[in-house]
Amino acid sequence: MGVVLEPGNGRVLKRRQLLTLLALTGAAGCGSASSAETPAAQAGGGTPPPAPPSASPGATARLGSAMTVTSSAPAPSASVSTVASSGLGGAVQAPADRVMLGSYLALGGRSLQQSLALRRRQLGREQRIVHRFYPWDGYVPTSEPEVAKSSVLMVSWHGAPYAGILDGGSDGNIRSVARKLKGMKRPILLRWGWEMNGDWFEWGGAQNGQSAANYVKVWRRLHRIFAEQGADNVSWVWSPNWNSSPGDSWNRVQGYYPGDDYVDWVGISGYNFFNETPSTLFDPITDRFGGKKPIILSETAAVQGKAKWIKQLQSWVEKTPAVGAVVWFDTDIQEGTDNNFRFDTDSAALAAYQAMARSPRFSG
């Protein structure tokens, strides 16, 4: 997350934010997210919404739609309801019939430790997943002491252009990161090169010769090198955007899937920028992949109608057994936008989130 389309000016904003992100990303994930750190250094995603209702048909097609994901998706089968309780998920297994609830935390004026303490007071519980962003070839920590041992660390590791990985030039960097994550001696959800089916990151297919196949080759190379380094505490989270941009046939999300042997969890990024329901955002990918892999909502939040949308999210998750984890994008300092993704912006939204956090389904 981190890029929000301004109607009529979307590409300018995306490019400006991406340049800021890449310039400052060396600080991403470096222990505490202190108030002195820039939001761009702490955040790392880029999820543009679908075109607003007033946009032209051409803009809608360019941004893609849910149909881009589901055009050839099989109908959900009975097996979808059993995946999240079948012991799948690799080093971080999906809890049986429950959901792990966590967040990416970057609250204005607070360190990560202070932010975690605030949410602990509000929710009466630890974050089950704590989401951090690490740069591709910058500083990567060897530990995350502020993340409780009872919490799972989810690392969104920035991608890079495919050519410099496929030619072997990045193997040393990959081995180094693998050793550092292995050395943390804790289960880790590793989300590499997320939202690859969008056109806003340098690791997306749109910026790499319009090639989904090469993304798959890169993923498998990383997976092999991690295995060679013995990083078996890592669960691999393949995490596309909820819709594809552009919506061309070469950019269909299924073309980026590395294969069942290389993926432990399937993630989704999706926000209600234009009043999308959880079903609209998450059904297509869940229906396609939920029959064989546990699903994690790896980036989600509401930007409007928060209380209503949180209740909708809770209801959708409770009716979707394939979902094994939900990670809220909990920040009010996202670079380049005035969106506030915090769930405590008003009492009704806070109460709705607290009710969701206390639900037995979210006790994983």
Q: What pLDDT, in 10s, does the model give residues 288-341?
A: 999 999 999 999 999 999 999 999 999 999 999 999 999 999 999 988 889 999
CATH number of the domain where residue 183 is located: 3.20.20.80
185: which strand partners? none
Q: Provide mean pLDDT across the span 259-285.
A: 98
Q: Quick check: is 194 in a domain?
A: yes
| Residue 67, domain member (yes or no) | no
Residue 226 lies in a domain: yes
Burial of 20 (0-12, 13-18, 19+ CB in 10 A): middle
Tell me if 213 is assigned to some domain. yes
In this predicted model, what pLDDT tens digit does every residue of 140-167 receive, in sequence order?
Answer: 999 999 999 999 999 999 999 999 999 9
The verdict on residue 86 lying in a domain is no
The pLDDT of residue 31 is 29
Q: Name the CA radius of gyration of the chain, rounded.
A: 19
The DSSP bridge pattern shows strands 295-301 and 265-271 to be parallel
Residue 220 within any structural domain of the chain: yes
Residue 239 falls inside a structural domain: yes
Cβ–Cβ under 8 Å, residues 15 and 202? no
- How far, in Å, CA of 317 to CA of 294, rounded? 13
Which three-class secondary structure state does DSSP give residue 173? Answer: helix
pLDDT at residue 257 tops 70: yes
Least confident of 10-14, 98-102, 176-180: 10-14
Cis peptide, bond prior to residue 240, ω within 30 of zero: no
Work out the pLDDT band at 64, boundaries 50, 70, 90. Answer: very low
For the annotated catalytic residues, the residue numbers are: 195, 299
Up-side HSE of residue 74: CA atoms within 13 Å toward CB?
10
Is the pLDDT score of 211 beyond 50?
A: yes
Query: Average pLDDT for residues 101-122, to the nearest whole number?
Result: 98
Measured from the Cβ of residue 159, the count of other Cβ atoms closer than 10 Å reads 22
Grouping H, G, I as helix, E, B as strand and the rest as coil, residue 329 is: strand
The number of domains in the chain is 1
Range of the domain at 344: 100-362
**pLDDT at residue 16 is higher than 60:** no
Residue at 186 is within a domain: yes
The CB-side HSE value for 10 (13 A sphere, CA atoms) comes to 19
